[in-house]
A and B are shown apart, each in its own frame.
Chain A
């Protein structure tokens, strides 16, 4: 089936394709149905629908000059372009564009690691370098640096960072966009620009000082359609000598406040890597009395029932990077702080392993803590070892042997990094779910935040499970889209916004960032129109629409 870019006639599109072919060669302009299957979002909420976000063609350049040529051709034919690097953005839209009929620029063939410096701790990479590729490159050269990887190792440094993806080691590295340092971008008119020290010809420190001088537009290229990035620098974590873990548990519900304060203190002194919060009260999910208390957010009853089962209310797993001695000293200090700040806190020794850990240690599926304290730790990502372990999440499981999570997507709200804010958000999200006729799938009162970004929490709107395993009909998926949009509206009315979204929800998220009559969006769209007058570069991404296509804002399944 031929799909055309919006506003482009079949004749004009054929001419554009001919020019793309002249630029990259006939093997690398893909238009066959079979070839384009893999450019669909495998988890799309609109799969098979007439408005599914699919591309009209994929063009796969081999170098920067070809990217520039593609952009210039697209300008001539007013053909919207979408760009993917490794193209594995599953849960946030996969490789599919914001605008149906866009031509997808698939940068996977540009897959060189251009530089790694193990003394100054940085790398410069092309778009197609996946975490798995990068790790192999490091291993083959026996370099003593780590890349902070996403859970899904087939994603890549550049694509993940440009969607503001996250990881799991030390704070500055977990925020993948903030860990970037310097980029090279093909602008909407085909010109090449470098940010930071890269703007100074002959600079020796492009990957070491990201700001350069004057305004730095680097932020425009993350979750935004202002250019196609073709090189990107990243700060790397030096390999430590030792890794140590420990578990803290605290008895009462309200102890969560002091627990978070103490963990924040250790985090912002860069003593610990990603802390993993959880609740041992998960063990009471089939206890009717506890469920009743938790659903009512009855704190006194929850504390009483927890105590009667000899269970603590919260836990956090801590991890330390350094030498054997420093990690031990830091763990001792963490324990001292916890015991001082939180009456009744308990501390459990975890693991203490020389780095690099062995393959067997990475693969080990058991964890050191005594029952009932379960661990959520994936060891590989704590050591910069990219894997695909997590793919069980969307897959068949023993619990769901005949279904897969066809519309797996993430919905994570930004929540202030305090215990009180989390306890409040739990109640807010739970109430909103119920108002909308949805019984939360898990007990909201024991849901815990993730601390992927060092300075803030994200709390999953798990109430909706983002899981349509039970009903995979197109109607159910559309109902889910509409439900999630309403959730976003109600969340925003209480001051919560999301950090990231698939295209089908991007306008709904962007709509919530409305301070002063959308001053930020108006600013972005003025820039967009000035820099990209034909509106061809990733239109709609991040809720920023060019003048020519502004009518599409919010139009998808209104």
Chain B
């Protein structure tokens, strides 16, 4: 297990607590906009575009990673509160490189987390 995996595991364990702490300040509507511009090109539900690629690359990689144990779509994931998301985005994860503060601010990350929590809840219904 590498360092990142450990950090993510620890954070995930603290999830319920973090969720309630992170939610009130963040702006899910703003998060949706950032998600659509900066994340959806890889993590959206659209098709892969390239010949024979049925899913976008981030969605496809997570399908292969989780084999159905977790949704391939980030917008259906309820386990990515801000602290967990921040670790993934500031360190990168597998083939996804990290994002710099100049392209994705800490506020953007909090807002995306709020949006993902919301979209996961509505997709669960």
Contact = CB atoms under 8 A, between A and B. Distances in A.
Interface string A124-166: 0000100010001000000000000000011000000000000
Given A365-B51, A365-B54, A388-B57, A395 B95 contact: yes
A39 B100 contact: yes
Interface in B63-88: 64-65
Nearest to B100: A38
A30 interface: yes
A389 B90 contact: no
Contacts of B41: 132, 153-154, 387-388
Nearest to A41: B97
Interface in A485-500: none
Nearest to B99: A38
Nearest to B91: A37
B46 A394 contact: no
Contact of B94 (A40, A90, A377, A396): A396
A108 B60 contact: no
A326 interface: no
Contacts of B1: none
Nearest to A136: B37
Q: For this complex, into which size category does the number of interface residues on chain B fall? A: 20 to 34
Interface residues of A, number: 52
A155 to B, nearest CB: 12
DSSP majority for the A interface?
loop
Contacts of B24: none
A515 interface: no
A392 B46 contact: no
A392 B100 contact: no
A507 interface: no
A390 B97 contact: no
B49 A363 contact: yes
A87 B100 contact: yes
Contacts of B54: 365
B97 A392 contact: no
Contact of A128 (B94, B95, B102): B102
A106 B103 CA distance: 10
Interface string A25-43: 0000010001101111011
Contacts of B103: 86-87, 108
A108 B100 contact: yes
A364 B90 CA distance: 33
A374 B51 contact: yes
A65 to B, nearest CB: 18
Contacts of B50: 365, 378, 389-390, 392
Interface string A362-383: 1111110000001111111000
Given A34-B90, A387-B49, A389-B50, A395 B60 contact: yes
A20 B37 CA distance: 31
A108 B104 CA distance: 10
A401 B48 contact: no
Nearest to A375: B51
Contacts of A154: 38, 41
B125 interface: no
A377 B92 contact: no
A38 B98 contact: yes
Contact of B64 (A87, A363, A376, A396): A396
Interface in B10-61: 37-38, 41-42, 46-54, 56-58, 60-61
A395 B90 CA distance: 18
